[in-house]
Structures are given as structure tokens and as C-alpha cells.
Amino acid sequence: MSTDTERRTAFIHGLRDLAAFMETTPAVPVPTDPTIITYYPEQSTDTGLRAEVDRIAALFGTKVDPRLLPHGLYTAARCFGPIHFEVTAILAAARDGAAGEPPHGF
């Protein structure tokens, strides 16, 4: 889990620096599609992975997206306009190749 103060501070500063740069440099284009920032938990079991996603989903104030479960992805997200911050656990079935491919666009 990446909640250590130094890494967290650097991440937040990077986001703020990007926002300031984009705001002061209007000639730089922005993506037309949503931008997704993904955190992948590092627990060793599906139970641990699900627990971590559930914990973060509660912090997000959201729930796990059931559409990706058949593909072995346990995901929750919170959107900030076109910026999506998601946490995705790749469950054993997907890591072992037993789950189907996610639908295009995910």
C-alpha cells in the first residue's frame, strides 16, 4: 500500500503542478477521453485484494463495479470530472488466464 507520507506528498504535488501547468498553458491540449489513474493493491490472496478494494471503495464513498467481476477484475472508482481514480485488484482467475477478456472500453 502506498500511503507513506513522502510518496503521497509527491503524488499530490505532481497533480497540483500538472493542474497549474495546464491552467497557465492553454495551448496544451487536454485528453478528449477520461483520464484514469489506477492503484493496484499488492495483497497475496483474492480475499486480501478484495478487502483492500472494499476499504478504498468505502473511502471513495462508492461500491465495487460488478461489470468487471466476470473478467476477474475487482474495481472501485471515484470520478473528479474527467479524472477517474480507481483501485483495481486482478484476481487469481484473471492472473491465471481463466477469466475472459474485459469488454473493449474498460
Q: What is the average pLDDT across 55-76?
A: 96
Same domain, residue pair 42 and 19? no
From the list 87, 60, 93, 84, the residue with the least C-alpha distance to 74 is: 87
**pLDDT value at position 95?**
85
Same domain, residue pair 80 and 37? yes
The pTM score is 0.81
Q: What is the average pLDDT across 31-38?
A: 95
First-to-last C-alpha distance (Å) of the chain = 24
Cell readout for 67 is 461489470
Does residue 105 sit within a domain?
no
Same domain, residue pair 1 and 38? no
Domain count for the chain: 2
Neighbours of 14 (CB within 10 A): 10
pLDDT at residue 104 tops 70: no
* Digit-coded pLDDT (tens) for 74-93: 999 999 999 999 999 999 98
Does residue 38 sit within a domain?
yes
Q: What is the average pLDDT across 25-54?
A: 94
- What is the biggest distance separating any 2 CA atoms in the chain, rounded to whole angstroms? 48
Same domain, residue pair 83 and 41? yes
